[in-house]
């Protein structure tokens, strides 16, 4: 079963734009679960322009599905935040300070020693670890020797080229997934997946465990409503 984790960063962005607590981030997370989402994802950044560090503590109290915290583990505050909350999963992303959105995966060869050490810390706390990687065989092979439990395939390239030729767009991801599976790694995916490209991706990517979707799903919720949007995305994963 392929699982849907809803990234609620954009809900926090909307809330922060006016101050106060509208929309209510905690209520949205509860509603996402009630509407069928199998996980909640957040990506706190140092400037707290969307998810605030305190949000993570409040969400940890109420999320009953899978709580996934993603972010830059090279920031000590992020490491401390994750260890204090012990989510079901932490996704390690090589963001730079002030980066608008994630735009590349780890170089798992160059950063091999670092990744082994930081992954050991999180796994020692009983947290499943996933690391963000591009669909490049060498990067997947490198990930397999870090001790991580899963990889998250960065899917922007797939989404960008989907309408130009979906078979070619997905080919590197199929190869990466095969390598990951042979190495015993779980497979997550995320970034720019939407109602147009998700079904083909989910149907053709072997051994896919989970997708994390935020921006597109929240945009669709403006037209279809949050409950309908979540059901539509779940339908694409069926």
- Catalytically active residues are 43, 70, 191
Q: How many CB atoms lie within 10 A of CB 6?
A: 30
The CA distance from 111 to 151, in Å, is 15
Q: What is the DSSP string of the chain?
A: --EEEEE-HHHHHHHHHHSTTSS-HHHHHHHHHHTT-SEEEE---TT-SSS-HHHHHHHHHH--S-EEEEE-TTSHHHHHHHHHH--SEEEE--PPTT-SS------TTTTHHHHHHHHHHHHHTT-EEEEEE-S-HHHHHHHHTTT-SEEEEE-HHHHHHGGG-HHHHHHHHHHHHHHHHHTT-EEEEESS--TTTHHHHHHHSTTEEEEEE-HHHHHHHHHH-HHHHHHHHHHHH-
């Amino acid at each position: 079963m392929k699982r849907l984790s809803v990234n609620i960063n954009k809900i926090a962005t909307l809330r922060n734009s006016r101050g106060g607590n509208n929309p209510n981030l905690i209520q949205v997370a509860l509603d996402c679960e009630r509407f069928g989402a199998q996980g909640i994802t957040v990506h706190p950044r140092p400037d707290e322009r969307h998810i605030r560090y305190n949000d993570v503590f409040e969400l940890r109290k109420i999320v009953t599905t899978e709580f996934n915290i993603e972010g830059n583990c090279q920031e000590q505050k992020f490491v401390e935040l994750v260890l204090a909350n012990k989510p079901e999963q932490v996704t390690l992303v090589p963001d730079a300070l002030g980066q608008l959105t994630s735009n590349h995966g780890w170089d798992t060869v160059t950063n091999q020693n670092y990744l082994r050490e930081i992954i050991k810390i999180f796994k020692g706390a009983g947290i499943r670890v996933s690391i963000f990687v591009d669909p490049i065989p060498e990067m997947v092979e490198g990930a397999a020797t870090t001790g991580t439990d899963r990889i998250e395939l960065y899917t922007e390239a797939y989404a960008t080229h989907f309408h130009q030729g979906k078979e070619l767009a997905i080919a590197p991801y199929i190869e990466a997934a095969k390598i990951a599976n042979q190495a015993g790694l779980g497979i997550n995916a995320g970034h720019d997946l939407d109602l147009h490209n998700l079904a083909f991706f989910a149907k053709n990517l072997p051994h896919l465990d989970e997708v994390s979707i935020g921006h597109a799903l929240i945009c669709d919720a403006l037209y279809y409503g949050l409950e309908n949007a979540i059901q539509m995305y779940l339908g694409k994963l069926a």
